[in-house]
Structure 1
Amino acid sequence: MSKVVLITGGSSGIGKSVGDYLTLKGFTVFGTSRSPEKYTTSNFPILGLDVNKSYTISDTVNRVIEKAGRLDVVINNAGVGITGPIEEIPEEEIRNNFETNFFGPINVIKAVLPQMRKQQSGLIINVTSIAGYMGLPYRGVYSASKGALELITEAFRMEIKAFNIQMTNVAPGDFATNIASGRYHAPVLEDSPYKGPYGNTLRLMDTHVDTGKDPLEMAKAIHKIINTPKPKVHYKVGEFMQKFSIVLKRILPDKVYEKLLMNHYKL
């Protein structure tokens, strides 16, 4: 019996690559999008779901269970980027980012746990970010929302172990996707004290995404995790130096690590 997989944000970028790859490997895949009508030629069904609207989550989870009879793997991939000086980002945009990157995945998890408990099996994979391991300049809100998802996963997986349900994090580095075009950019204001450093950092971040790794690498990593009997708590996928930066944060004095980051971003 092929495993049934639900991927939020499955219409483009990493989510689409994962969906295509798992479909190729024989999984029964359902992706989601806020605008499913745009993706009628996808290799797997794209269902309507907005992680910021709880009723769409429960409706779609129920549809998948009705169609497939079970739900084995849920990949919380839907997320949005955000950049800007924290002082200048409107509070509404900060809240919107946490709604999508943090509260959205939690609500998806809550919706699928009853079915997985009934099955006495299941795997939930939360797609976070290497940026969630450190406070990055002009990406502080994004770092915080992804870091919060990393931490709550650590607690959540202990709470659901008794039901034979597994949970893990996968933190990607920079991948060549359309995330830069979809993220909220605080404008580079002419009279802003952050104009120079923020403008330079923004260009550097966009370059990293444009020259990022192939999302197929994430798809292969997730496929391997699904086939792992007891997944680890954390996985990191990306360039060696991006993954190594997490190791450096653990072993270096805080101010030394901060200086490395500031030098990298030319601040």
Structure 2
Amino acid sequence: MNPLRRLMATAALCALAAAPLMASAQQLTVSAAASLTEAFREIGTRFEAHKPGAAVRFNFAASGVLIQQIVQGAPVDVFVSADQETMDRGVKEKVLDAATRRDFAGNTVVMVAPAQGAAVPATLADLAKPEVRRIAVGKLATVPVGRYTKQVLDAARLWEPLEPKLVYADSVRQVLDYVARGEVEAGFVYRTDAELMKDKVRVLLAAQGHTPVTYPAAVVSDSRQAALAREFVNFLFTTEAQGVLARYGFSKP
């Protein structure tokens, strides 16, 4: 046989042999709150180990942004939010299967400042001092930690006085970056995020006065991998997955 034809024939045989594997592979797309990034990447790897042939692809961003994408038709199988309000919206919009909704983790909101900085507010009231010029918070419309922060500052009657100082971020990770780079004097993030950059930010206090931070997960109504999506949600409650979450600082819901 002509060497070129032999090469082409070999390539064709390889493609045919690989076809069943490609067809059997199940790709699961999970849209999850940005604060879950590191923990979920590890959980995804562990889930794949338990489900040969399954591949988990993650999309991490602010919960409000993710649910907007799903409402607009993004092909997603599992949605995981950092708050109940965003999950409620998805259920109301009928893009999530309410029967699969489950809370699997909790967190804490903390006030942080740059590890190296002159102005260090020790209390919420200190945020009103002139030396504190900028405070990073999540956008209220799309970032759950922003809404938790508003609850905290509202309870302390500080939201309106501090509004001129507020710098709005697209996600909790952007808030963390602003603080870590010293672009603001303070910010509000989850304790798990602060732990990731404890060499660059310092936790000043645990915020009080907000609703409990809980993370719900649910299967997307139009998921093409609904059975596998349910398995992923259930996997979040296994001892293995809960151990990963605990190691990254998440609490029980």
Pairwise same-fold verdict (TM > 0.5): no
Q: Which has the higher contact order (CA 8 A, sep 6+)?
A: 2
- What is the TM-score with the length of structure 2 in the denominator? 0.24
Which structure dedicates a bigger proportion of its chain to strand?
A: 2
- What is the TM-score with the length of structure 1 in the denominator? 0.23
State which structure, 1 or 2, has the greater radius of gyration over its C-alpha atoms: 2
Which structure dedicates a bigger proportion of its chain to helix?
A: 1
